[in-house]
């Protein structure tokens, strides 16, 4: 197991399932991603850069794609969700649509690829 899997194993109930869903979708889309730590959070990393993380707080789950630009791109599809520069907040009762989650992960992957190809 790795840091993200260990974090998920420490959770219970619907929050655990919601965070595991993020990890599983991201690994399906970016199979080369590896578990690690970014900005003090358990996360998936790709090519040495943070790809995505999800953390449970008292009132929501924060999704961190480590990309304000990716959040801006999908923001029109996230009406009703709380957004900030670096996070999308949701709950297990109101999960992110898979297509939006997928786009966030793929946008971040593409950013990392672009940075690494320079």
Residues 30-40: tens digit of each pLDDT: 999 999 999 99
Q: Which fold has domain 3-116?
A: 3.90.1150
- Which residues are CB-neighbours of 71 under 8 A, at least 6 positions away? 65, 83, 85, 86, 87, 88, 104
Q: Which residues pair with 35 in a beta bridge?
A: 44
Tell me the whole-structure pTM to 2 decimals: 0.95
Tokens of 58: 């008292």
**Length of the chain as a residue count:** 118
pLDDT digits (tens, 9 = 90+) for 44-82: 999 999 999 999 999 999 999 999 999 999 999 999 999
Tokens of 82: 């709380």
């Amino acid at each position: 197991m790795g840091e993200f899997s260990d974090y998920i194993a420490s959770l219970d109930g619907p929050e655990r399932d919601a965070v595991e869903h993020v990890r599983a979708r991201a690994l399906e889309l970016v199979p080369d991603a590896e578990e690690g730590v970014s900005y003090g959070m358990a996360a998936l990393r790709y090519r040495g850069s943070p790809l995505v993380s999800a953390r449970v707080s008292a009132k929501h789950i924060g999704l961190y794609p480590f990309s304000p630009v990716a959040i801006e791109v999908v923001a029109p599809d996230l009406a009703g969700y709380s957004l900030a520069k670096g996070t999308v907040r949701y709950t297990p009762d109101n999960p992110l649509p898979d297509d939006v989650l997928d786009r966030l992960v793929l946008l971040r992957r593409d950013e990392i690829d672009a940075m690494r190809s320079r």
